[in-house]
Amino acid sequence: MDEVIATKDKGTEGIRYASLKKTRARAEEILEAAAVVFTVKGFDATSMNDIAKAVDLTKAGLYHYIRGKQDLLHAIMDFAMDAIEMQVLEPAGQIADPTERLKMTLYKHIHLFENYGTHVTILIDEMTALTPAHREHIIQRKRAYLDFVRNTLSELKAAGRMRDLDVTITSLNILSTIVGMARWYNTDGKMPLEYVSEQTIGWVLRGVLKDE
């Protein structure tokens, strides 16, 4: 077992920290591998044996880290939403100007594909496979993202910078564009991510903002 349960005696704190860190790293490795398998085979067609094989564990060893396939799917989606909050919403939320905040939101989300592409793909492809409770949890987290974009557009509209568009519909279309990239963008393909980012951001801004 990777995790070491130690008391607070001399010398054990460092052991416990290192062991827990190792366990977390292994758990993230399992999430990444499972996301890849789910993307290739689909959730329904993937077995626990498939996932165990992908991470070089026995099926029993895999259950040390997860309780079941549906819990694993929820964990992958939760991990993807954590990445969106930390890598997109937190830095973008520090920007006061709504135009620059929208640009940063688009840029940061698109660049999630460098490290979290498979997780984001699962986030849009396998929602119906979640349990009702898990689905509601992820929907609530997605709704917070929508609210963030909608509030930014509301500021743009109030400042007279946005075209005559419905804020909610435009917010949904923006998120559909950047989240939907997971369906077609190939990190190993011919189009560099920076080029895709530049083209997508330019297209969105030209559609949303008034001409200066």
Q: What would the pLDDT profile of 25-40 be if each residue is shown by its tens digit?
A: 778 888 888 888 888 8
Percent of the chain with pLDDT over 70: 89
Where exactly are the structural domains of the chain? 2-208
Q: How far is CA 175 from CA 16, 20, 62, 145, 171, in A?
A: 41, 36, 34, 9, 6
Taking alpha carbons only, the member of 112, 129, 127, 130 closest to residue 193 is 112
Question: Which position has the higher pLDDT, 140 or 126?
Answer: 140
What is the distance between the alpha carbons of residues 120 and 175, in angstroms, rounded to a whole number?
Answer: 12
Q: Is the pLDDT of residue 23 over 80?
A: no
Three-state secondary structure call for residue 148: helix
Domain 2-208: give its CATH architecture. Answer: Orthogonal Bundle (1.10)
What is the distance between the alpha carbons of residues 166 and 75, in angstroms, rounded to a whole number?
Answer: 34
Dihedral sign of CA atoms 87, 88, 90, 95 in order: positive
Model pTM? 0.80
pLDDT at 118: 75
Neighbours of 150 (CB within 10 A): 18
What is the distance between the alpha carbons of residues 88 and 77, in angstroms, rounded to a whole number?
Answer: 16
pLDDT at 7: 40
The residue with tokens 């290192």 is 18
The residue with tokens 């991470």 is 55
- Please check whether residue 150 is in contact with residue 156, taking contact to mean a CB–CB distance below 8 angstroms: no
